[in-house]
Amino acid sequence: MRFRHYAVGWAIGLVFLLGFLWRPVAMAQDFPTAHWPQDRRLKWEAVEKMLLEEYRVCAEHCGKDRGCLDRCEQVRRSRLEREYKSMAGETAGPSHIQEDIQRHPSCPYCGMDREKFSHSRMLILYEDGSEVGTCSLHCVGVELALKIDQTPKALMVGDYNSRKLIDAEKAYWVLGGSKPGVMTSRAKWAFENKGDAERFIQENGGELVSFDEAMRASYEDMYKDTKMIRDRRKAKRMQQHTHQ
């Protein structure tokens, strides 16, 4: 009898635990994101993860109090709906491809216009839901070096031709060539399609490399590029001072 009593108690506890774990996850289907751009989908996943963790903390404090669990779920559901409506509104309209430019109009490190350099711009999405938009791979290198304890969830880059944000790690990168680079003397361009990258190389030179190779080249060029940028800006300030 005692064994049966423990078995029944264990079964009830297991059912409760499964209900606790399954319940919030099942609601993900209520928020379709397949039509969203990739950077927005990744940010939504980070929001879902954060709210799920908050729900689980709330549920732990509730114990087996069903009313308390319902209130935790109501709060989570309300926040999910609010966040979803906000993000869905941002993706509406024909300009959704460059919505990141509206959120980050200029690079935080060099101040350059990200719309003007949308063909080289990048967007970092961190696991905590925060994001940083830069003008180029050069400034992404600066950002990642300064925030070494933050883990990127995704790295996005503007396709050289379409200027659409694509997965930087899956892109086909062209290193070097005759086209002047952005914030670097050795250009680094990203392409969604391998054929586009190969045509670019035929017309402008350069070599086809992976993202890791392009990133490594960016760090190798960092001192030289930083010095070049500093010297150019110093010369520009002196020229402006002379004209005054």
Which residues face 125 on adjacent strands?
A: 131, 154
Global pTM?
0.62
Based on the domain organization, do 41 and 145 belong to the same domain? Answer: no
Q: Round the average pLDDT of the chain to a whole number and report it.
A: 83
Question: Is 95 a member of any domain?
Answer: no
Q: Which domain range does residue 71 map to? A: 9-90
Q: How many domains does the chain have?
A: 2
Based on the domain organization, do 28 and 67 belong to the same domain? Answer: yes
> Which of 90, 114, 137 represents a domain boundary (last residue)?
90
Question: Is 40 a member of any domain?
Answer: yes
Each residue's pLDDT tens digit, 144-171: 999 999 999 999 999 999 899 999 999 9
List phi, psi (to 5°) of 63: 65, -125
Each residue's pLDDT tens digit, 225-237: 999 988 888 887 8
Question: Is 98 a member of any domain?
Answer: no
Contacts of 74 (CB under 8 A, 6+ apart): none
Answer whether 192's CB lies under 8 Å from 163's CB.
Answer: no
Q: Is it the case that residue 173 has pLDDT exceeding 90?
A: yes
Based on the domain organization, do 14 and 81 belong to the same domain? Answer: yes
Question: Is 15 a member of any domain?
Answer: yes
**Token output for 79:** 């926040």
Based on the domain organization, do 194 and 158 belong to the same domain? Answer: yes
